[in-house]
Amino acid sequence: MSRVIVNDHNQKSDYKWINKKYTLEDIEKLRIKIRNIFVFLIVLAAILIICFLLCKHFILAWGTFVFSLVGITIFYKLRVLEFNYAYKGTIVSNFLNNNFDNLMYDPNKGIDYDIIKNLNIIRTGTKFRASDYLKATYKNITFEFCEINIEDDSNGESTATLFQGQWFIFELNKCIKSNVHIFDKEIFCAKAKKETDDINQVFQKVEVEDIDFNQIFDVYAQIEQEAFYLLTPTFIEKIKEINKKTEGRLLFGISGNKIHVGILNHNNLFEPNIFKKTDINKEKEIIFNQIQFITNFIDSMDF
């Protein structure tokens, strides 16, 4: 079995800007600085290419450009890290705090790899990255959230992205005795998990009476009766409605008193744009749209 590389959520950073407080003016100045460095890097790279094509025998000049490009690129990446930290720690954090209770938000952490792996709903590949960890309550329902990116390079030739999107965990007011998995038929890392792994011997495929639902989703359960206990006509209609409103492919893993929800959409939330002026009202609107799935899901489901 290939060793899985998991990003280190607990790694401490020595960056001097960690724990620094930023104002909106600070964030905007930092954005402009990063944008200017990016433009300068493009110009420098173009000069480097021209120098290489026209002046190959001027090794010293060409080498100077290369070292300059590498040095400025490293500096640029550090500034981007600082900008992301400032944006998320100030704008995103404040907005989330105003919309949810008991907020815990850490852009550098994520839901633990083993939690997702042990659910056995998708293949977890050889590389796992998680970030933007959020835990809070909304209408007295506790939930967790993070961005995840799962890749596989086990064939030694190329790297395939198995899952890139958002992962949620909501607490239910009922307890399911066995696991029930529901996933969009186009989420191939979930389909492959059931078709190729030994886990298929534990789960049974379940068909419900809703033809439209069966055309979109596959359902697997360890105990068939548990699936029918959960998949009432009302629950199925709610899943179909949520699916219509969601950009991306959905999966649901119900285990015990928790429901995991994954959205495969190849998007990263809460990411700032270095080419647009930091407008607090526009940023709030963007973040509001990004977290709507959480509020809509809790409002729609019978927790």
2-37 per-position pLDDT tens digit: 456 666 444 445 556 556 788 889 999 999 999 998
User: What pLDDT, on the 0 to 100 scale, is given for residue 2?
Assistant: 45
Angle at 241 (CA atoms; ends 239, 246), nearest 5 degrees: 90
Q: Decide: 274 and 34 in contact? Cβ < 8 Å.
A: yes
Specify the higher pLDDT residue, 169 or 158.
169
180-227 per-position pLDDT tens digit: 999 999 998 887 777 666 555 688 889 998 999 999 999 999 988 888
Q: Decide: 39 and 104 in contact? Cβ < 8 Å.
A: no
Q: With a cut of 70, say whether residue 242 has pLDDT above it.
A: yes
Q: How many CB atoms lie within 10 A of CB 81?
A: 14
130-158 per-position pLDDT tens digit: 999 999 999 999 999 999 999 988 777 78
User: What pLDDT, on the 0 to 100 scale, is given for residue 74?
Assistant: 81
Contacting residues for 150 by C-beta, under 8 A, at least 6 apart: 122, 123, 124, 125, 127, 128, 129, 161, 162, 163, 164, 189
The token duo for 209 is 């009476």
User: What pLDDT, on the 0 to 100 scale, is given for residue 105?
Assistant: 92
Provide the pLDDT confidence category of residue 111 given band limits of 50, 70 and 90. very high
User: What pLDDT, on the 0 to 100 scale, is given for residue 204?
Assistant: 87
User: What pLDDT, on the 0 to 100 scale, is given for residue 12?
Assistant: 46
Please tell me what DSSP assigns to residue 91.
Answer: I
Q: With a cut of 80, say whether residue 302 has pLDDT above it.
A: no
This prediction has a pTM of: 0.85
Please tell me what DSSP assigns to residue 152.
Answer: E
Average pLDDT of the chain is 84
31-88 per-position pLDDT tens digit: 999 999 888 888 877 877 777 677 655 565 666 667 777 777 887 788 888 888 889 9
Whole-angstrom distance, CA of residue 257 vs CA of residue 286: 31
Please tell me what DSSP assigns to residue 2.
Answer: P
E runs forming strands in 153-229 = 160-184, 204-206, 217-221
The token duo for 70 is 């590498």
